[in-house]
Amino acid sequence: MNARMQSILRRGIAAAALTSIAAHAGAGAPADPLAPAGRWQGNTGGSAATPPMGWNSWNAFRTDVDEDKVLGAARVLVDSGLAGLGYVYVNLDDGWWLKRRAGDSRLQVRTGIFPSAATGGPDGTSFRPFTDKLHAMGLKAGIYTDIGRNACSQAYDLHSPNLPQGTTAEREVGLDGHVAQDISLYFKDWGFDYIKVDACGLADFAPGSDLVQRQHYRGLAPLIERGSINRTDIAAVRGRYEAVAAALRAARPANDYVLSICAWGMANVRTWGKEVGNLWRTSSDITPNWTSMLHNFDSAAKRPLYAGPGHWNDPDILHIGHEEFDAAHPVEVRSHFSLWAMINAPLLVSYDLRNGPAALLAVLGNADVVALNQDKAGHQGVVAYDSDDAQIMVKTLGDGQRKAVALFNRGAAPVAVTLLARHLKMSDSAPVTLRDLWSKTTVTFTGEQAFTLAPHETRLFAASGRRQLEDGVYLSEIPGAIHVAVDGTRQALLDPGIHRMIDPWSNTRSGSARPQYAGWGGAQADTTPFGQTLQIAGQAFDSGIGILANSRLQVRNSAGYARLTASVGVDDSTVNTRQPVRFYVYGDGALLAASPPVAFGGKPFRLQADIRGHDVIELVVRGAASDTTPPVVATWGDVQLVRQQRKNP
Ligand code: GLA
């Protein structure tokens, strides 16, 4: 048989095999969440192509906020040049409201602190003059509300002079029962561009509680129980935020809004936030100390596959300007800012900018660091080396050719860190150039370079060198191009990998600093879902995607790659060693390649798919659907997109 005939025969066999797989996979069954969608399913609502930047009133003033303070911050943003760098959102947090007016339920602004809102007439008050001022300055305006009936200040700031006042109903300033009315008021009448929707109303106003009785609130059986994911009604919480998203789409058909979900990492929001909002808090409130910063950073840092253009992990507003991040702590300030930049966190400054030291403005105004956060490709940094002492994090910039790298000393003692070209997925044998984004100095090395980091220091570099894949990218290098449609998790498991700070509010009076945020076991870049090395039958992979069986990933092929290759199999770390799984690759809904059933201990199976001309590539792992065994851990080893089709397949 000549080579041409062999190749025709091979293709024929492959086609027959794929047909039978397609039948087996039940492609087309509408209820099957693993069936390829053939179109991008990531949330396209709202406009946050890059992480939102600007200022928020909360860490600066809590409820002691007023118009002068906010407009003063806005003025500094403009005059300092920060607005020109992208810091354009000026976000009012809790404390602005007076009451929900009886009769028509229209919200009223506390004009004692926002005098321009005293517009009179039938509406009583209006924030329109305030947002007009911000817009005239070239800025955008954000407002705050709660998804329940009552806001967080009504539970936690009871001594504030700026709490809503009046009857029980008048003090119900949250969205519950008023979603369409309030969203229309905020976005159509008042002209806001951004809304942060808090969640205390679903968590802290239990019927019969001391708070509810003393303050004469209407109780709401908690949908979020802070200490228990199993006693949290995840679907109900998500449903309420979905209703807000729908109201926003109706109020702003041009899609010019930002929805910030503030459920503090509860209710499994770290998994579904991307489907509903543009950013979602991944943890509790940041406080101005190092370990709180670590906690909040960790809550977002291992979730790169869940974020991308239009949807961002939110480890909370910056605490730069206060206590352990004030101007007397320049190392900590630069670390906090560098880390937020690397994980594509929103850069929302929150100190009194009117009285802030110039040194802090210089940090916030580091255009190189801002640019890496705002890189349009939206690839969140991926942890390349992980420990409780030091971490190395690498973020792909733009088209995949350039990288940023952060070397981070988490601890209070100096630490030696060796950066390998391999951490950057760059060649060991070609020079790598690092440009320090703080000192602006340059160093070049081949293979590896040793550093000593001062306590709490982060070194931040732009790196260039010869990439391991000169003609393509590993999928783990481009998390912003991936949409985790189904991650295979069957229960919301609590993430044990987040720094457990002493709770700043209860200190050691609470039981302990327990893991509290679901999302453990989801899709991961370069590790298994549980943080282990990717490994199939003894073969380890530095690069790849770790996921559970019964999962579906979508990858945008906007760069027009020609070929996808991977070495796939059941990961050696799987607890469930008994059930085989199959791997499938689809292009715009059509099956392109599939593995046979592969089982624990089986050698990696080499998958190749011709993806030329396909925009949405889908990677599916199917296993037995069972509730009685843990899901199989599946590894897409070395999964990569390559520009050239191989000449001799
Ligand atoms: C919660 C939020 C904070 C802030 C306050 C306002 O704690 O997480 O970011 O908005 O409420 O009361």
**Would the pLDDT of 469 be above 90?**
yes
Residue 627's pLDDT is what?
75
Q: How sure is the predictor about 647, in pLDDT bands with cuts at 50, 70 and 90?
A: low
**Would the pLDDT of 26 be above 60?**
no
**Would the pLDDT of 649 be above 50?**
no
Q: Do 393 and 424 share a domain, yes or no?
A: yes
User: For 432-452, how does the pLDDT look when each residue is reduced to its tens digit (9 = 90+)?
Assistant: 999 999 999 999 999 999 999
The arithmetic mean of pLDDT across residues 233-261, rounded, is 98
User: For 236-245, how does the pLDDT look when each residue is reduced to its tens digit (9 = 90+)?
Assistant: 999 999 999 9
Q: Do 590 and 609 share a domain, yes or no?
A: yes
**Would the pLDDT of 480 be above 80?**
yes
Q: Do 495 and 603 share a domain, yes or no?
A: yes
**Would the pLDDT of 131 be above 50?**
yes
Q: Do 225 and 208 share a domain, yes or no?
A: yes
Residue 335's pLDDT is what?
98
C-beta 348 within 6 A of ligand 1: no
* Residue 538, phi-psi category: left (phi > 0), alpha (psi -120 to 50), beta (remainder): left
Place of tokens 């109020």: 251
CA distance 397 to 52: 18
Q: What is the CATH number of the domain that holds 190?
A: 3.20.20.70
Residue partners of 389: CB distance under 8 A and separation at least 6: 409, 410, 411, 415
C-beta 152 within 6 A of ligand 1: yes
Over the Cα atoms of the chain, what is R_g? 26
**Would the pLDDT of 506 be above 90?**
no
Mean pLDDT estimate for the chain: 94
The arithmetic mean of pLDDT across residues 309-318, rounded, is 98
Atom of ligand 1 nearest to the CA of 285: 8
User: For 179-222, how does the pLDDT look when each residue is reduced to its tens digit (9 = 90+)?
Assistant: 999 999 999 999 999 999 999 999 999 999 999 999 999 999 99
Residue 30's pLDDT is what?
57
Helix axes 234-251, 269-276, angle to 10 degrees: 20
Catalytic residue among 198, 375, 487, 571: 198
Q: Do 453 and 483 share a domain, yes or no?
A: no
Residue 510's pLDDT is what?
83
**Would the pLDDT of 4 be above 90?**
no
Q: What is the CATH number of the domain that holds 584?
A: 2.60.120.1060
Catalytic residue among 204, 285, 316, 375: 285
Task: Assess if residue 341 is contained within a domain.
Answer: no
What residue owns the CA closest to ligand 1's atom 9?
285
Instruction: Report percent pLDDT > 70 for the chain.
Output: 95
Task: Assess if residue 550 is contained within a domain.
Answer: yes
**Of 56, 144, 285, best ligand 1 pocket probe by most atoms within 8 Å of the beta carbon:** 285
Of 50, 151, 41, 52, which is closest to residue 96 (Cα–Cα)? Answer: 151
**Would the pLDDT of 2 be above 80?**
no
**Would the pLDDT of 158 be above 70?**
yes
DSSP 457-487: -EEEEEEES-BSSTTEEEGGG-GGGEEEEE-
For ligand 1, the distance from its centroid to the CA atom of residue 289, given in whole angstroms, is: 17
Looking at the chain, how many residues does it have? 649
What are the tokens at 561?
A: 């790659």
**Would the pLDDT of 3 be above 70?**
no
Residue 609's pLDDT is what?
98
User: For 258-273, how does the pLDDT look when each residue is reduced to its tens digit (9 = 90+)?
Assistant: 999 999 999 999 999 9
Q: Which of 425, 442, 473 is the last residue of a domain?
A: 473
Residue 487's pLDDT is what?
97
Atom of ligand 1 nearest to the CA of 264: 8
Q: Do 402 and 544 share a domain, yes or no?
A: no
For ligand 1, the distance from its centroid to the CA atom of residue 200, given in whole angstroms, is: 8
Look at 495 and 399; give whichever has higher pLDDT: 495
C-beta 77 within 6 A of ligand 1: no
CA distance 424 to 396: 9
**Would the pLDDT of 625 be above 50?**
yes
Task: Assess if residue 44 is contained within a domain.
Answer: no
198 carries an active-site annotation: yes
Task: Assess if residue 224 is contained within a domain.
Answer: yes
Q: Do 467 and 389 share a domain, yes or no?
A: yes
Q: Which of 443, 473, 503 is the last residue of a domain?
A: 473
Q: Do 71 and 147 share a domain, yes or no?
A: yes
Strand partners, 143: 195
Q: Do 257 and 168 share a domain, yes or no?
A: yes
Angle, CA of 518, 524 and 527, to the nearest 5°: 120
285 carries an active-site annotation: yes
Report the b/e string of 189-219 with b at 16+ CB within 10 A: ebbbbbbbbbbbbbbbbeeeeebbeebebee
C-beta 495 within 6 A of ligand 1: no
Residue 626's pLDDT is what?
77
Environment class of 532 (CB within 10 Å of its CB; exposed 0-12, middle 13-18, buried 19+): middle
For ligand 1, the distance from its centroid to the CA atom of residue 509, given in whole angstroms, is: 22
The arithmetic mean of pLDDT across residues 461-488, rounded, is 97
Task: Assess if residue 537 is contained within a domain.
Answer: yes
Residue 644's pLDDT is what?
84
The arithmetic mean of pLDDT across residues 612-620, rounded, is 98
Atom of ligand 1 nearest to the CA of 156: 12
Task: Assess if residue 276 is contained within a domain.
Answer: yes
Range of the domain at 598: 474-642
What are the tokens at 292?
A: 């709180």
CA distance 440 to 336: 19
Report the b/e string of 408-430 with b at 16+ CB within 10 A: bbbbeeebebebbbbbbbbbeee
C-beta 153 within 6 A of ligand 1: yes
Q: Do 529 and 630 share a domain, yes or no?
A: yes
User: For 77-104, how does the pLDDT look when each residue is reduced to its tens digit (9 = 90+)?
Assistant: 999 999 999 999 999 999 999 999 999 9
Q: Do 459 and 495 share a domain, yes or no?
A: no
Residue 305's pLDDT is what?
98
Q: Which of 244, 263, 281 is the last residue of a domain?
A: 281
Task: Assess if residue 293 is contained within a domain.
Answer: no
**Would the pLDDT of 598 be above 60?**
yes
**Count of structural domains within the chain:** 3
Residue 646's pLDDT is what?
61
Place of tokens 């906010």: 70
Residue 20's pLDDT is what?
37
Q: Do 550 and 427 share a domain, yes or no?
A: no
Q: What is the CATH number of the domain that holds 434?
A: 2.60.40.1180
**Would the pLDDT of 24 be above 90?**
no
Task: Assess if residue 311 is contained within a domain.
Answer: no
